[in-house]
Amino acid sequence: MTEYYEDIQLRLIDIIDLYPEKNRKKLGLDLLQRIIERMEETYKGCDTCQFYQDLIEEIITKIENDDKTYKKDMRTVKAHLLKEHHLLEEGFFMAIFMILGVIVGIVLGTVFSNLPVFLGFGISFGVTIGSMIDAIAKKKNKVL
Ligand SMILES: [Zn+2]
């Protein structure tokens, strides 16, 4: 680990310690931690990621000073990682397959005149398949 990332991680851990667990997700601290961990690999071959290292420092400073505009900066870095480094958002397939499940459930429920049963079946089928594929994507290190 380089000195930069060591320093950033320590500052982030200090911040995380200040917040109860349920606030961390809302504030995006868990995501920020994953972004930093990911960038520790991606910065080596990517000028943009190297450039964003300063932005990450700014984000941390903003959080330390309770400046909420850090969320916009974080979206910028996240968008870069998703697009240029071909990563997926957490729960990406779950969201897609749940929508598919609802659609299939509505269609079959209408055809067989039993909407509640088929809708329920469609949703649970979508959640099951979606979370399975999400788990595979995570295992393959494709999820931010
Ligand atoms: Zn990059």
pLDDT digits (tens, 9 = 90+) for 29-40: 999 999 999 999
Residue 74 CA to ligand 1 center (angstroms) comes to 14
pLDDT digit string (tens) for 61-114? 999 999 999 999 999 999 999 999 999 999 999 999 999 999 999 999 999 999
The pTM (predicted TM-score) of the whole model is 0.83
pLDDT digit string (tens) for 55-73? 999 999 999 999 999 999 9
In sequence order, the 6+-apart residues with CB closer than 8 A to the CB of 10 are none
pLDDT digit string (tens) for 6-29? 999 999 999 999 888 888 888 999
Residue 43 CA to ligand 1 center (angstroms) comes to 6
Residue 58 CA to ligand 1 center (angstroms) comes to 17
Identify the pLDDT of residue 116.
96
Identify the pLDDT of residue 1.
65
The DSSP line for the chain is --HHHHHHHHHHHHHHHHS-HHHHHHHTHHHHHHHHHHHHHHGGG-HHHHHHHHHHHHHHHHHHTT-TTHHHHHHHHHHHHHHHTT-B-TTHHHHHHHHHHHHHHHHHHHHTT-HHHHHHHHHHHHHHHHHHHHHHHHHTT-B-
Neighbours of ion ligand 1 (CB under 5 A): 42, 46, 48-49
Identify the pLDDT of residue 50.
95
In sequence order, the 6+-apart residues with CB closer than 8 A to the CB of 103 are 122
Torsion angles phi and psi, residue 85, rounded to 5? -110, 15
Residue 76 CA to ligand 1 center (angstroms) comes to 11
Identify the pLDDT of residue 2.
83
Residue 16 CA to ligand 1 center (angstroms) comes to 25
Question: What is the mean predicted confidence (pLDDT) over 125-144?
Answer: 96
